[in-house]
Chain A
Amino acid sequence: MPELPPVTVTACPNGPILVRGDFELRTPDGRVVAQHRRTVALCRCGKSTIKPWCDGTHKIIGFVTEPEPPAG
């Protein structure tokens, strides 16, 4: 069986950060944030009404991420 990372983190262009795998999201004081689904989208634009989760608000405010750096 190929070795797979336990967690993957994917930055979506102009959107949230998708997190898949076995992980725990915690508040600064160490409490575990209740997670409702296996794959989650974390707010990256700062304007979500349900932070830390994404609620699609980035599309309304025209949030734009940096273009990918050229390969190599």
Chain B
Amino acid sequence: MPATMLEDGVPLQRPMLLPQARGPVSEAVLSALRGAPVALPEAVGAGLAASAGILDDEDVQLALFLLYEQHYGGLAEVDEDLEWDATLLAARAAIETAFEAALRAAVPMPGRPEPTSPAVAAALFALTGRDDGPSLSRYVAKNATLQQLREFLVQRSLYTLKEADPHSWAIPRLSATAKAALVEIQADEYGGGRPQRMHSAIFAGTMRSVGLDDAYGAYLDLLPAPTIAAMNTMSLFGLHRRLRGAIVGHLAAFEMTSSVPNRLYGNGFRRHGFDERTTWYFDEHVEADAVHEQIAAHDLAGALVASEPSLLDDVLFGAAACLFVEGRVGAHMLTAWNEDRSSLRGPLP
């Protein structure tokens, strides 16, 4: 595997290598990103019309992911000016419209609390506290093989190697208590001024400790549509000011379903004899997210709804969407493992 560039032990993010196409839409997006002439609107329109379900569409989810990645760490050998290319932005918008509609149709909405901070916090704790079927974290703690643990890290890597980034888009779109709360959480996510404590850097260390490549996107070709769709959900919410309620709700639900599962994930790696070099990431999240979930529920989501009551439904939608898309990723993994096969699209090197 290629050596990652390290600065004081922390990986330097490089534009990710372009993946293989999965169909005509991602093929057209890749061509456009490479600067080749291509009828992008037609390819996207035809792909969306032919899609049997956008949430599980390998081709369309990969295409959307690539369009979003231009706004994060970037893509190798792609002209950086294309980040704001009108044709690519129009393609992104067409896919996003279908994607958001599919999410709004599929995500079960919880009951609506009063638009006050305590009521919203209580509603979010109730929503995220519901036990929803089989548990990935319990399986990882008790049953996962070493190969499944490595797969688990690969599945997580798409988000976790840029942990916190999609929610940071919301900072300039919030104000007062909610803004201070988001920055308080994100400062901790980014290591409180110490790059070695940045959660993405700690996770990169976990990957290296089990012999995995920590370069962003190194395993993208292996990741199935539900995993990419969960990442795309965060980017969709994070990149639209209109959806600031949803990205706040998403972060709240993410933090509120983290402490307890992370203790179990760590137990799974300890069961296989791994030490703190591998489990630090999970141990850190047990403690950190017990803090973050309180800030996210009360000072972030609660305060946002109190100051902008019209955002109540989107905060709830964002939280429920987080549980929905992350639950689909977990179910995809558990189904594959229970059938004694890989949850990835190909063998892990």
Which residues from chain A sit less than 8 Å from chain B, CB to CB? 12-16, 18, 36-41, 49-50, 53-57, 59-60
Contacts and interface: CB of A to CB of B under 8 A. Distances in A.
B259 A39 contact: no
Interface residues of B, number: 24
Given A39-B295, A49-B263, A56 B121 contact: no
Contacts, number: 59
B286 A56 contact: yes
A36 B287 contact: yes
Contacts of A40: 291
B177 interface: no
Interface in B79-107: none
B291 A39 contact: yes
A39 B259 CA distance: 16
Given A15-B294, A39-B291, A49-B263, A55 B286 contact: yes
B188 interface: yes
B332 to A, nearest CB: 25
A45 B289 CA distance: 17
A15 B255 CA distance: 14
Which of B121, B192, B294 has the most chain A CB atoms closer than 10 A to its own CB? B294
B184 interface: yes
Interface in B214-267: 259-260, 263
Nearest to B294: A12
Contacts of B184: 38-39
Contacts of B125: 14, 59
Contacts of A14: 125
Given A38-B188, A55-B286, A56-B286, A18 B295 contact: yes
A56 B285 CA distance: 11
A14 B297 CA distance: 12
A56 B187 CA distance: 21
